[in-house]
Amino acid sequence: MKKVAIFASGSGSNAERITSYFTDSQLISVDLFLSNNPQAGVIERGRRLGIPTVLFDKKTFAKTDKIVDLLKNQHIDYVILAGFLWLIPENLVKAYPDKIINIHPALLPKYGGKGMWGHFVHEAVVANKEKESGITIHFVNERYDEGKVIFQAKFDVLPSDSPDDVAHKVQLLEHKYFPEIIEKLIVN
């Protein structure tokens, strides 16, 4: 059994989707949620789903080995970032080479980097009159949104689409593909 931990800063709909997808899996188990945000929806989801959820602050995350030690002590094999907003520190990247996977709500390298998250991405896509947008699943390195791309999926942006419409299309693709791509990566 490969063990997965999911980091999330917000609502956690992807974290829940991934957890449900692997509920009956013989190969992959979601064992832990981690969040930097005490208000994050992912905390309530963790409670409801029965997934232990750990909260941490910036100093603990960025300046100590406590989170890496926690993951290693729990024998976590893969780290999934599902709407997690902080840069991953070097000690964590080094502890999980090619085993930290992020999802980004746009077609990287477009609309990536610090500050490009959530509605900021969708607003920029609409403001720039993009004809298409999509999702990117990629490995994580020490720089925002620059790790190797694993998978992308696209949709058409219509002239009438609002940022909320784009967000909705992104979420449909994320919920469909993120669990499947995680499964392929871990099992193969």
Comparison of 66 and 141: residue with beta carbon closer to ligand GRF? 141
Site for ligand GRF in 143-162 (CB under 6 A): none
Closer residue to ligand GRF in complex, CB, 6/92: 6
Task: Compare residues 92 and 188 and give the one whose CB is closer to ligand GRF.
Answer: 92
Q: Is 112 in the site for ligand GRF (CB under 6 A)?
A: no
- The reply to whether 170 sits near ligand GRF by the rule CB under 6 A is yes
CA distances from 118 to 1, 28, 41, 62, 161 (A): 32, 28, 15, 22, 16
Is residue 13 a contact point for ligand GRF (CB under 6 A)? Answer: yes
Buried b (16+ CB within 10 A) or exposed e, 33-71: bbbbeeebbbbebbeebebebbebeeeebbeeeebbebb
Residue 163 interacts with ligand GRF (CB under 6 A)? no
Total residues contacting ligand GRF (rule CB under 6 A)? 16
